[in-house]
Amino acid sequence: MFNILENGAILLGKNFTVDGHFRRLFRVITHFHSDHMIDLDKSVKECSSIIATPITLDAANVLGYSIPKHKRIDLDYGITLNIDGEKIRLEKAEHIMGASQVVVKSEGVEMAYTGDFKNPGKGTPILNPDVLIIDATYGNPSYRRQFKEESDMLLSDYVRDALYQGPVRIYAYYGKLQEVMRVLRQYGIKVPFIVSGKVSELTKVAIKHGIRIDDVFDEKSEEGREILKDGIYISFHHAAEFKKRDKNATNFLLDGWQITEFIRKIDQRSYVLGYSSHGDFEDTIYYIENTTADTIVVDGSRSEYAKDLIEYAKKYIPRKSFILLPH
């Protein structure tokens, strides 16, 4: 009734494969990061439909995945679909824009997959299925962020201070960049945002779907060129571009694997910030402790720390049953 394959596909019920390819009626995408879109082109060909939130499907299109309109099932949070005797719904996951948890009920058994998440019980609702499949990205007990409650404020403070010296460039993965834009506006930073390429297109998707980001300008537009001349702005770039960073700007690379300190200096004007869109070890344990699910399946296909998580959980949460998949 449920399984996790070596290629990362989460199989739920009889009809659904999530975040990996398997020839079934429906492929579900929890969010648009590449490790959760593996073999999506194969799924478009071999599955009858692709299910995801509208933001995720629009973002997939920006990132070059061609999903025909007749194969798209845009599913908003909390809406239940009845398909071939099974029920599926998506619930919010705080990770990147449009991210979701997946709930499938089949033959009277409810199964849920968290996908990537943070802030369980706050930004990410804790689900209570019969079987919970949980992400283990930060499954080792050493991955505890002491500063996670203040990370939005710290990010905003460092960016605000850097703006006194001139332009700021922020480097992160797609989706996280748009979240950072929202956070900076929430914390009162009002300078223009400069974007280009896929970052620009994904930001348009975010705004289209109601995420509050304003004063965003493409670097090739007339307004964007004038702002670049003026010199006071924040520009946003994919993390892979950090190696080509501009020495005339203050550069911030956002890296969730920086655990013990929030900021680390790289050179005179470049820093790594420990800012993550994932929950840490404590968040993962908190989810497990607070769900009523008796069976916890740990996703070992995307994390080398799944065994560490199970060893800890068996010792300190004895009332639940733990399964590692794939074996």
**196 and 168 in a common domain:** yes
**100 and 32 in a common domain:** yes
**Sequence-separated contacts (24+) of 69-76 with Cβ below 8 Å:** 71/44, 71/47, 73/26, 73/49, 75/51
Residue type at 115?
G
pLDDT of residue 132: 98
pLDDT of residue 276: 96
**269 and 171 in a common domain:** yes
Residue type at 282?
E
pLDDT of residue 230: 86
For the chain, how many structural domains are there in total?
2
Structure tokens that stand for 138 in this block? 């930060």
pLDDT of residue 1: 92
Write the CB contacts of 210 (distance below 8 Å, at least 6 apart in sequence): none
pLDDT of residue 327: 83
Question: Cβ distance 72 to 87 under 8 Å?
Answer: no
Could you report the per-residue pLDDT of 239-255, keeping only the tens digit for each? 999 999 998 999 999 99
- CA-based nearest residue to 117, from 327, 304, 288: 288
Helix, strand, or coil (residue 53): coil
pLDDT of residue 231: 87
Question: Cβ distance 178 to 213 under 8 Å?
Answer: yes
pLDDT of residue 263: 97
pLDDT of residue 61: 97
**68 and 6 in a common domain:** yes
Could you report the per-residue pLDDT of 108-118, keeping only the tens digit for each? 999 999 999 99
pLDDT of residue 264: 97
pLDDT of residue 318: 86
Give the β-pairing of 109-113 and 100-106: antiparallel
β-strand partners of 223: none
**93 and 65 in a common domain:** yes
- The per-residue DSSP string of 82-127 comes to EETTEEEEEEE-BSSTT-EEEEEEETTEEEEE--S-BSBTTTBPPP
Could you report the per-residue pLDDT of 312-321, keeping only the tens digit for each? 999 999 899 9
Question: Cβ distance 114 to 92 under 8 Å?
Answer: no
Residues of the chain short of pLDDT 70, as ranges, are none
How many CA atoms are closer than 13 Å to the CA of 59, on its beta-carbon side?
Answer: 26
**184 and 65 in a common domain:** no
**256 and 194 in a common domain:** yes
**134 and 46 in a common domain:** yes
Q: Which domain does 218 fall in, by range? A: 148-273
Q: Of 257, 273, 289, which residue constitutes the final position of a domain?
A: 273
Q: Which backbone phi and psi does 41 adopt, to 5 degrees? A: -60, -40
* CATH number of the CATH domain containing 65: 3.60.15.10
**303 and 227 in a common domain:** no
**314 and 294 in a common domain:** yes
* CATH number of the CATH domain containing 212: 3.40.50
**159 and 134 in a common domain:** no
**293 and 174 in a common domain:** no
Write the CB contacts of 145 (distance below 8 Å, at least 6 apart in sequence): 151, 259, 274, 276, 280
Please tell me the pTM assigned to this model. 0.96
